[in-house]
Amino acid sequence: MAKHETPLLDQLESGPWPSFVTDLKRQAETKPECWDILGQLELSYKERITHWKHGGIVGVFGYGGGIVGRYSDLPKRFPGVEHFHTVRVAQPASKYYSSKNLRQLMDLWEKYGSGMTNFHGSTGDIILLGTRTENLEPFFWDLTHDMGQDLGGSGSNLRTPANCIGQSRCEWSCYDTEECCHSLTLKYQDEIHRPAFPYKFKFKFSGCPNDCVAAIARSDIAVIGTWRDEIRIDQAAVKEYIAGNYPSNGGAHSGRDWGKFSIEKEVVDLCPTQCMWMEGGELKIDNTECTRCMHCINVMPRALRPGVDTGASICVGAKAPILDGAQFATLIVPFMKMSADNEFEELVEFIEKVWDWWMEIGKNRERVGETMQRLGLPHFLKVMEIEPIPQHVKEPRSNPYVFWREEEVEGGFERNVEEFRARHAA
């Protein structure tokens, strides 16, 4: 039986799509606190103001992240949501769950929480919504001791790193995203569990430029697989596509009749750098112009494959629009070899250089992308000891001045003023 009248929320159940209101009502049959979520939300819809308070508690003892405190500002009226903390749980690499693991998690959350979940938050980890302060420690004990699973990151910490399925299932993966994500997660345990930075910091690992974890849009350091040799072409398979014997895009768009496959219209003409053409029945690519956008490979996976000299591009500074506007990450290193044999040494060195700089220069609540924007890319490149290259240039210059650093000027900036004054009186 509903505890509160919720006419505004009930209206949301009338559409053809699944409704969180229906889900919450069902959940409330066994978890009565869910009636109070509905009641409080109905009130917020009426009054057009939130009744949630953020903040306060941060975690279990010794951890500075993983729990986001949430309280109702009307605890007397809605006692079920007096405390309604969010718990972040680290997801397995590539989100490979066993059904056993999922059942254990659900049992644990039935026991200590509201049963409400969000698989997954935009960071990539598991979000468990709604528990009380006194349940946090017992929940954490069971999670770590019985399940060997850990909390994720929140606050000014390194957030739970995330990766695409990589080489475990995807033939396009240009490096081992799982190994890389896992080993850096272990290496930076302290940064994940305890605040370390002016604001949040995220890593994400995609095996190829399809970027299935949207690293370029969502992470402070995006590690995106790429190759520096040539796209591998199987000309016989190209002919099969042209003849219509192989479905384009691996059959992904086969639900509808798009007409006969045209390699000109669907591949060559859509290449963003116009570096492809047909010659004597063969597909040609000028690889020096190719930006590795993946389009042609996605359309004809049986004919085209990434090259074999593989590694990753490193981009820095993406963020969501919370403070300033949203922005993509900026390309900093076009190609870096990625190897588990040296524990991703080059990447680790890069990451720590970024941190050392940002921890010192970054303002409170400033994402590294905003610090870069504030001080300019040339400044950032200098800090990173990286020579500017054409790939760093996004657009024609909009600043007419050229600034020289002293070491770039023959003879430096020092001069003998007396000698100058002898010729030009002040």
Partner 1 sequence: MALSKDELKAAILEKAEKSPKAQLYIKDFYACDPETKPRDMKNVANDLVKEGKLMFWSSGSTTMYALKSRIKNEEGAEGI
In this complex, which beta carbon is closest to ligand HEM, that of residue 27 or of residue 86?
86
Interatomic CA distance for residues 329 and 217, integer angstroms:
6
Handedness of CA 171, 172, 175, 180 (dihedral sign): negative
Residues 153-182 that bind ligand SF4 (CB under 6 A): 164-166, 170, 172-173
Which span (46-54, 287-295, 327-335, 359-367) binds ligand SF4, by CB under 6 A?
287-295
> And the tokens for 15?
């559409």
Site of tokens 């309280």:
71
Binding mask 362-381 for partner 1 (x = CB under 8 A): -xxx----------------
| Contact in structure between 300 and 266 (CB atoms under 8 Å) | no
Contact flag: residue 57 with partner 1 (CB under 8 A) = yes
Cβ contacts of 7 within 8 Å, gap of 6 or more: 42
Residue 197: contacted member of ligand SF4, ligand HEM, partner 1, none (CB under 5 to 8 Å, by partner type):
partner 1
Contact flag: residue 130 with partner 1 (CB under 8 A) = no
Interatomic CA distance for residues 20 and 3, integer angstroms:
17
Which span (125-133, 210-218, 321-329, 354-362) binds ligand SF4, by CB under 6 A?
210-218
**Angle formed by the axes of helices 345-361 and 177-187, to 10°?**
50
In this complex, which beta carbon is closest to ligand SF4, that of residue 278 or of residue 293?
293
Site of tokens 């420690």:
137
Contact flag: residue 197 with partner 1 (CB under 8 A) = yes
| Residue 231, CA distances (Å) to 208, 279, 379 in order | 13, 17, 35
One of 69, 161, 306, 311 touching partner 1 (CB under 8 A): 69
In this complex, which beta carbon is closest to partner 1, that of residue 55 or of residue 79?
55
Sheet strands side by side (includes 162-163): 162-163, 203-206, 221-227, 310-316, 330-336
Which residue has the CB atom at the shortest distance from ligand HEM? 121
Report the DSSP beta bridge partners of residue 82. Answer: none
One of 57, 275, 331, 386 touching ligand SF4 (CB under 6 A): 275
What's the angle, vertex CA 234, arms to CA 230 and CA 240, rounded to 5? 140
One of 296, 318, 338, 354 touching ligand SF4 (CB under 6 A): 296
Q: Which residues bind ligand HEM (CB under 6 A)?
A: 50, 52, 70, 84, 86, 121-123, 127, 129, 200, 322
Write down the least CB distance from residue 55 to ligand HEM, Å.
11
Contact flag: residue 348 with partner 1 (CB under 8 A) = no
Contact flag: residue 59 with partner 1 (CB under 8 A) = yes
Write down the least CB distance from residue 70 to partner 1, Å.
8
Contact flag: residue 313 with ligand SF4 (CB under 6 A) = no
| Contact in structure between 233 and 265 (CB atoms under 8 Å) | no
Q: Which string of b and e fits 128-148 if b means at least 16 CB within 10 Å?
A: bbbbbeeebeebbebbeeeee
Interatomic CA distance for residues 86 and 221, integer angstroms:
25
Q: Which residues bind partner 1 (CB under 8 A)?
A: 53-59, 62, 64-65, 68-71, 133, 154-157, 190, 194-200, 322, 355-356, 359-360, 363-365
